Chains A and B, each alone.
Chain A
């Protein structure tokens, strides 16, 4: 909102209402548009009554309303790194339609995905468990919106808000169960079944049958070479379960893909609400 817009409202009842915070928008005859005031814009971006993120949506209304003052809407862009391993967690993120991959980084740049966070979760869980540094790399894998909160504000909120604590513990348990399952899955299940599972998990988080993932990314996700991804993807394509062209993935047959996936998909899905 620039000063020129506010100067359009010089006097009269309009000015009085503006000064007492009762105005949402100012109409600008020069550009023939309505300009939202910052508070109104913020409220509209936060999605009004119901937050897109399930953890926030599960909180009692008055707790969420209080937290809103500290929640800042941000756009996360594919490829952004929110934290590196060992780095201080400065913000926690509650994704809306963005999704973020958590990777454990080994020697020589090798990385393996150990978690996927979308609207059902939060990035920066270590903070909820009292650890200030991130154990993982948090990499934005699907561009979109999120709400973020400064670490100090989050800690303060967590210390006084029992419903938030409950959500965090429940979510931490889900993630732990998911990690246990994934550890066994990575060791024993075939790449094709794991790829199927992983595509289904992504689908659930982005709530769409179409998304973009590069080969390299998938190789990191599954902890295999690129050739391994190519073989697995080709095989799923041959069965007409997915189409995969230049990183653009479409799920053509969800039921079929679930059947091709290892049972870990259903097990983890039932753990999470």
Chain B
């Protein structure tokens, strides 16, 4: 099971875009075989800092090994798929 965590800044434009882009990728490639947690850094900055997050949007792949991350609004689909270990 793929475990993902997406750090966003409330309803800011890039954050909204990142959620939409990720949702589309998950729908197309993962069906229901994933767990996604979304963390709003405006509400929980300490949580993000503890996880080593520097900017948002930030997508973290937690498991399976190896861990990976993508920063930005996730509009570059290919790099998101690579980071998640999904082959097109």
Task: Name A residues whose Cβ lies closer than 8 Å to a Cβ of B.
Answer: 8-9, 13-14, 16-18, 20-27, 29, 32-34, 36, 39-40, 43-44, 48
Pick 8 A–B contacts, CB within 8 A, sort by A.
A13-B69, A13-B71, A22-B71, A25-B42, A27-B49, A40-B14, A40-B15, A43-B11
Q: Convert B1-18 into 0s and 1s, putting 1 for each residue whose CB lies closer than 8 angstroms to a CB of A.
A: 000000011111111100
On whether the beta carbons of B54 and A9 are closer than 8 Å, the reply is yes
The listed residue with most B CB atoms (<10 A of its CB), out of A14, A21, A24, A27, is A24
- Contact assessment for A40 and B9 in the assembled complex, using a CB-CB cutoff below 8 Å: yes
User: Considering the chains assembled together, what is the distance between the CA atoms of A16 and B73 in angstroms?
Assistant: 12
Contact of A24 with B12 in the complex, beta carbons under 8 Å = yes
Contact in complex: A27, B45 (CB < 8 Å): yes
Q: Is the CB of B72 within 8 A of A20?
A: yes
Known: A23-B72, A32-B46, A33-B45. A9 touches B9 (CB 8 A): no
Residue from the list A14, A16, A23, A29 in contact with B14, Cβ < 8 A:
A23
Tell me, in angstroms, the Cα distance from A39 to B9 when the chains sit together.
12
Give the distance in Å from the alpha carbon of A41 to the alpha carbon of B3 in the complex. Answer: 30
CA distance A16 to B48 in the complex (A): 20
B residues in contact (CB < 8 Å) with A: 8-16, 41-42, 45-46, 48-49, 53-57, 69-73, 75
Of A20, A34, A39, A43, which contacts B45 at CB under 8 A?
A34
Partner of B55, one of A14, A32, A44: A14
Q: Which residue of B lies closest to A23 (CB)?
A: B55
Q: Is the CB of A44 within 8 A of B12?
A: yes
Q: A34-B42, A40-B14 given as contacts; is B54 within 8 A of A24 (CB)?
A: no
In the bound complex, do residue A27 and residue B53 qualify as a contact, i.e. CB atoms below 8 Å apart?
A: yes
Q: CB distance B48 to A39 under 8 Å?
A: no
Contact of A34 (CB < 8 Å), options: B16, B56, B72, B73? B56
In the complex, the chain A residue whose C-beta lies closest to that of B17 is A22
Are A43 and B48 within 8 A (Cβ)?
no
Q: In the complex, how many angstroms separate the beta carbon of A64 from the nearest chain B beta carbon?
A: 14
Q: Would you call B56 and A8 a contact (CB within 8 A)?
A: no
Please tell me if the beta carbons of B45 and A23 are within 8 angstroms of each other in the complex.
no
Least CB separation from A29: chain B residue: B49
Are A27 and B48 in contact, CB atoms less than 8 angstroms apart? yes
Smallest CB–CB gap between B23 and chain A, Å? 17
User: A48 to nearest B CB, angstroms?
Assistant: 5
State A18–B71 Cα separation when bound (angstroms).
9
Q: Are A36 and B12 in contact (CB under 8 A)?
A: yes
A110 to B16, CA, bound (A): 52
Query: When the two chains form the complex, which single residue of B46, B48, B57, B75 contacts A24, counting CB atoms closer than 8 Å?
Result: B57
A44 to B56, CA, bound (A): 15
